[in-house]
A and B are shown apart, each in its own frame.
Chain A
Amino acid sequence: MLERVQSERTQSDRTMIDIRDVTRSYGSFKALDNASLAIREGEFFSLLGPSGCGKTTLLRMIAGFDTPTSGSIAVDGQPMDGIPANRRPTNMVFQSYAIFPHLDVEQNVAYGLKRLKLGAGEEKRRVEEALAQVSLTGLGKRRATELSGGQRQRVALARALVMRPKVLLLDEPLSALDKKLREQMQVELRRLQQAVGITFVLVTHDQYEALAMSDRIAVMFGGRIAQVASPKEIYQRPINRQVADFLGGMNFVKAEIVEENGASLVLDTLGFGRVKTDKPKAFVRNGGNATLGIRPERLRVLWDNAAAKFEVAGKVVERHYFGEITHLIVEIPGLEKPLSVTETNDFGADDIPVGTSIRLGYDPEALVAMAD
């Protein structure tokens, strides 16, 4: 709820980055294939995909380090064609951080300000402010070589933010940090973005990172943008199996289309029987079949006489313990692949013996139809 209020405060419907039909080819290879995207002002936007999907290429073209083979990019209404990186209203946090090793922290942060000729007082004030924003106050005189990975990352952030860019570009900024620090920085980055209200564009291959920080996510595969939506929608209503798979575990069940109309689909499945689901916005049927998906955590074990309106019955064939959760692999008669089920351990799912016959309950809302 709080999140929503904050988002509405910083976000507007104005387009900050307008990417139109952008293609980047290297010979016959297309790193980016006809991508179009409108990133809004004040938005935390993530480009998510496996390596080689074109997300970094797109980011570097926004920054001006790469040029589209065709198509155009505009930032804040200004076409960026032919404008070099040093004259764009964007700043970048590099994957390697690219901290200047021959300068100290303050000099690094002030690097871009030097050209603006602000006067010593104003420059110092802005450097201090930027260092405070990233909680590095007092470390200004440290040399770059004396900093930890997390601190370098903060210097890179401060150095970019101090320029007050219209857009901050982040190229896998957390990939070099260990898990704990990474999770802490996710929260901090999100908080910082809310505080400064600048449009952030993050490139990442980590779906949890994208889900945790973004207002919207573009999922990319093979140079194409597969889906653009909010984290919740991307996770719960993935447009196809590839997106569903990339965002986390998903059970896929073969389905036959019985009925299709404007808003809904009726599917026949083995195991789940006849199912009526919402039709995804971009659903285009491909023959008479479709795929029905359900996330492992949306299936729950029904104990003893507990009943659910919708349930499937099967037999546990594997059990994997993960501390707070247990993964069960459950064979369902009629399904070619067993279902995977994630259950929290507070009710003893970790004690279910392999071979047990169990019933699984689900909410039909959790079923998602995908085109084949």
Chain B
Amino acid sequence: MTAIRRFLPSWLSSYAGLYILFLYLPVIFLPIFSINTAATPKFPLSGVTLHWYEDLPKTPALIDATWNSLIVGVSASILSTVLGILAARSITRYRYPGRRTINGLIMAPLVLPEVIVAISMLLVMLQLGLSLSLFTVVLGHVLVCIPYSMTVLTSGFEGFDRSLEEASADLGESAFGTFRRVTLPMVAPAIISSLLVCFTISLDEFIIAFFLTGTEATLPIYIWGQLRFAAKLPGVLALGTLLLFASFVLMTIAEILRRRAARRTQNEGGLYA
């Protein structure tokens, strides 16, 4: 018994260490091989270079793909955040039958197999007579982004004390003034956080973009295309490293903002202060 007590803590921490290593080792290889002079990802590194990074802006197809990704990302994040605001506001503020079901249905794309979602969306788009373009990719991305946007926004809106808006009206402020001076400043961090999360997800999303895009490739699709050529691998690794880094930064900012929003809306002045 005592032996187990003594060994368990060290076992647990080595297990946790291994687990983290397993999760992040591949991710660490990405930047390492992206500065390798040789085109093949193999240890030991034959030399260190930023050559692959320098080449990136000189690839027109890559620039196009980046633009496409930005357009899709910005549109999808704005659209899903707007829809998310409406849904999150309704779910956090009102009590009505079917509220939980609706919430569940909105969150469902999170667990649906993405290939299936992508195929069904493709079928629907074609049935509707839409030709595949960046617009159809945006629609697809909105579907997968909304659950994330909802999660961020509900946590920001939850606990928003309705009497704050009433207090503003009571002090003479109009409905629009109340929105501008109270509601917006309180939920702004959550909204920005939602925009960032959705943008990041859209930027990295592959399967839906793969099915729904026409001739215009987004970044992940461009990367997929490049993988056929062994010589292009370091460039892909460099690009991947940049994407990884951007995602990490965006998600961190988003999480900081989300927490700030959640803290703000919890009006500790309430009953239990």
One of A89-97, A125-133, A294-302, A330-338 contacting the partner: A89-97
User: Which B residues lie within 8 Å of A91 (CB)?
Assistant: 170-171
Bound: A91/B166 CA distance, A: 11
Bound: A85/B173 CA distance, A: 9
> Chain B's nearest CB lies how many Å from the CB of A173?
12
- Please determine whether B166 and A65 come into contact, CB atoms closer than 8 angstroms: yes
- Closest residue on chain A to residue B273 by CB atoms: A149
> Chain B's nearest CB lies how many Å from the CB of A157?
12
- Choose among A64, A84, A152 the residue that contacts B273 (Cβ–Cβ < 8 A): A152
- Please determine whether A85 and B186 come into contact, CB atoms closer than 8 angstroms: no
Bound: A112/B171 CA distance, A: 5
User: Which A residues lie within 8 Å of B177 (CB)?
Assistant: 115
- Choose among B169, B181, B268 the residue that contacts A85 (Cβ–Cβ < 8 A): B169
- Please determine whether A112 and B264 come into contact, CB atoms closer than 8 angstroms: no
- Please determine whether B166 and A101 come into contact, CB atoms closer than 8 angstroms: no
One of A3-11, A140-148, A228-236 contacting the partner: A140-148
Bound: A176/B270 CA distance, A: 8
- Please determine whether A111 and B168 come into contact, CB atoms closer than 8 angstroms: yes
- Closest residue on chain A to residue B171 by CB atoms: A112
- Please determine whether B269 and A112 come into contact, CB atoms closer than 8 angstroms: no
What 0/1 pattern do residues 161 to 175 of B give for CB contact below 8 A with A?
101101111111110
User: Which B residues lie within 8 Å of A246 (CB)?
Assistant: none
- Please determine whether B270 and A85 come into contact, CB atoms closer than 8 angstroms: no
- Please determine whether A92 and B167 come into contact, CB atoms closer than 8 angstroms: yes
Query: Is B131 among interface residues, defined by CB-CB distance under 8 A?
Result: no
Query: Is A98 among interface residues, defined by CB-CB distance under 8 A?
Result: yes
- Please determine whether A145 and B268 come into contact, CB atoms closer than 8 angstroms: yes
- Please determine whether B164 and A86 come into contact, CB atoms closer than 8 angstroms: no
- Closest residue on chain B to residue A144 by CB atoms: B269
- Please determine whether A147 and B269 come into contact, CB atoms closer than 8 angstroms: yes
What 0/1 pattern do residues 212 to 237 of A give for CB contact below 8 A with B?
00000000000000000000000000
> Chain B's nearest CB lies how many Å from the CB of A18?
20
Question: Within residues 60 to 100 of chain A, which ones have a CB less than 8 A from any CB in chain B?
Answer: 63-65, 84-87, 90-92, 94-100
> Chain A's nearest CB lies how many Å from the CB of B182?
6
User: Which A residues lie within 8 Å of B171 (CB)?
Assistant: 86, 91, 111-112, 159-160, 163
- Please determine whether A98 and B163 come into contact, CB atoms closer than 8 angstroms: yes
- Choose among A87, A98, A116, A163 the residue that contacts B267 (Cβ–Cβ < 8 A): A98
Bound: A160/B163 CA distance, A: 14
- Please determine whether A115 and B272 come into contact, CB atoms closer than 8 angstroms: no
Query: Is A102 among interface residues, defined by CB-CB distance under 8 A?
Result: yes
- Please determine whether A86 and B173 come into contact, CB atoms closer than 8 angstroms: yes
- Choose among B173, B185, B269 the residue that contacts A98 (Cβ–Cβ < 8 A): B269
Question: Within residues 131 to 173 of chain B, which ones have a CB less than 8 A from any CB in chain A?
Answer: 161, 163-164, 166-173
What 0/1 pattern do residues 160 to 185 of A give for CB contact below 8 A with B?
10010000000000011000000000
What 0/1 pattern do residues 160 to 202 of B give for CB contact below 8 A with A?
0101101111111110010001100110000000000000000
| Given the contacts A87-B172, A101-B264, A102-B186, A95 and B167 also touching, CB distance less than 8 Å | no
- Please determine whether A92 and B170 come into contact, CB atoms closer than 8 angstroms: yes
Bound: A95/B271 CA distance, A: 8
- Please determine whether B172 and A163 come into contact, CB atoms closer than 8 angstroms: yes
| Given the contacts A96-B161, A96-B267, A102-B186, A148 and B273 also touching, CB distance less than 8 Å | yes
> Chain A's nearest CB lies how many Å from the CB of B263?
8
Provide 27 A-B residue pairs closer than 8 Å at the C-beta atoms, listed in order of the A residue.
A84-B169, A85-B169, A85-B170, A86-B172, A91-B170, A94-B166, A94-B167, A96-B269, A97-B269, A98-B267, A98-B269, A100-B168, A101-B265, A101-B269, A111-B168, A112-B171, A112-B173, A148-B273, A149-B273, A152-B269, A159-B167, A159-B171, A160-B170, A160-B171, A163-B171, A176-B272, A176-B273
User: Which A residues lie within 8 Å of B272 (CB)?
Assistant: 176
Most chain A CB inside 10 Å of its own CB: which residue of B168, B170, B177, B272: B170
> Chain A's nearest CB lies how many Å from the CB of B165?
9
- Please determine whether B164 and A98 come into contact, CB atoms closer than 8 angstroms: yes
> Chain A's nearest CB lies how many Å from the CB of B134?
38
User: Which A residues lie within 8 Å of B174 (CB)?
Assistant: 86
User: Which A residues lie within 8 Å of B181 (CB)?
Assistant: 111
- Please determine whether B273 and A98 come into contact, CB atoms closer than 8 angstroms: no
- Choose among A85, A90, A115 the residue that contacts B166 (Cβ–Cβ < 8 A): A85
User: Which B residues lie within 8 Å of A147 (CB)?
Assistant: 269
- Choose among A95, A100, A102, A112 the residue that contacts B172 (Cβ–Cβ < 8 A): A112
- Choose among B169, B264, B267, B270 the residue that contacts A86 (Cβ–Cβ < 8 A): B169
What 0/1 pattern do residues 242 to 273 of B give for CB contact below 8 A with A?
00000000000000000000001101111111
- Please determine whether A99 and B264 come into contact, CB atoms closer than 8 angstroms: no
> Chain B's nearest CB lies how many Å from the CB of A364?
45
**Given A65-B169, A85-B170, A101-B265, 17 further pairs, Cβ under 8 A:** A63-B170, A85-B166, A90-B170, A91-B171, A92-B166, A95-B163, A96-B270, A98-B166, A102-B185, A111-B168, A111-B171, A112-B173, A115-B177, A145-B268, A147-B269, A148-B273, A163-B172
- Closest residue on chain A to residue B167 by CB atoms: A98
Bound: A166/B272 CA distance, A: 30
What 0/1 pattern do residues 61 to 77 of B give for CB contact below 8 A with A?
00000000000000000
User: Which B residues lie within 8 Å of A90 (CB)?
Assistant: 170
Bound: A55/B265 CA distance, A: 28
Bound: A85/B177 CA distance, A: 14
- Please determine whether B270 and A115 come into contact, CB atoms closer than 8 angstroms: no
- Please determine whether A102 and B264 come into contact, CB atoms closer than 8 angstroms: yes
> Chain A's nearest CB lies how many Å from the CB of B58?
47
User: Which B residues lie within 8 Å of A100 (CB)?
Assistant: 164, 167-168, 182
- Choose among A96, A102, A163 the residue that contacts B271 (Cβ–Cβ < 8 A): A96
Bound: A115/B69 CA distance, A: 44
User: Which A residues lie within 8 Å of B267 (CB)?
Assistant: 96, 98-99, 101
